[in-house]
Amino acid sequence: MKIGIIQQHNTPDVADNKARLREKIDKLAADGANLIVLQELHNTIYFCQTENVDKFDLGETIPGPSTDFYGAAARDNGIVLVASLFEKRSAGLYHNTAVVFDSDGSIAGKYRKMHIPDDPGYYEKFYFTPGDLGFHPIDTSVGRLGVLVCWDQWYPEAARLMALQGAELLIYPTAIGYDAHDTADEQQRQREAWQTVMRGHAVANGLPVVAVNRVGWEEDDGSRCQFWGTSFVCGPQGEYLFKAPEDEESTAIIDVDMERCEQVRRWWPFLRDRRIESYGDITRRFIDSK
């Protein structure tokens, strides 16, 4: 599978952000990509840096103007496209939603972000209702895609549930960056942990992983965040197939050998050896040792 990724710096100009994405989508498709993955909430700046009720005006229905726009990009180029939108489901009810378009421009499926963070500079619980669609892969003309979103990437349960339902690829649109109050060493530890945990999902499930992050400084209502880029693709043993820079935009096409996943799973049959009869406590919030 030839996978295209777009790591982009965003501005408050939504029309410009979308136009630049469309130009890059067209270029990657012309160069042979058959699946293209965009970063989290790619239409706008990352507006969750502050809590502001006016930002709900950025939400859109699905279907809506943005699904028309990205559906056309998928159809015109004959590619599968993973987009990330601020979904307005109803008044006062919004989701952080990944939408997958098939090569004919139709919506193959959507995933509503399940794990919602609430940290300084990432006030997502103010904006997003936790997803209610569960963890289910989306079938497309290029394969069955396990699409998750950003904060979901820290949870092995989410990746495993996708793998158990036949996902052939794990995909994480992402918006994550440095806290300016942290030391340079701490910033790098966090960035590397972010990569390591997803590479672990690749190894544990014998699946390639695609993580696409935004990059550069973004300012919102006086708050500033530097997104650390470093979008990457790794194979089923966690091996890097591509890694983008930390501090600049990047587009790339990565050729992923999907047949190799079958062989890796034969060498390391982790799904075979799971002790499913002993995992009941995993659904508890905490297990008191007393």
Question: 4: which 2 tokens?
Answer: 């295209």
Q: Residues with catalytic annotation?
A: 40, 113, 150
Provide the sign of the torsion angle of the four alpha carbons 176, 178, 182, 188, taken in this order.
positive
DSSP H helical ranges for the chain: 14-30, 65-77, 124-127, 156-164, 184-205, 259-267
Neighbour count for residue 273 (Cβ, 10 Å): 7
Are 203 and 256 contacting, i.e. CB atoms less than 8 angstroms apart? Answer: no
**Could you give phi then psi for residue 40, rounded to 5 degrees?**
-70, 135
220-225 own/partner pairs: CB under 8 Å, 24+ apart: 220/45, 220/46, 220/47, 220/49, 220/50, 221/49, 221/50, 221/52, 222/50, 223/49, 223/50, 223/121, 224/49, 224/180, 225/46, 225/49, 225/121, 225/177, 225/178, 225/180
Beta strand pairing call for 143-147 and 169-174: parallel
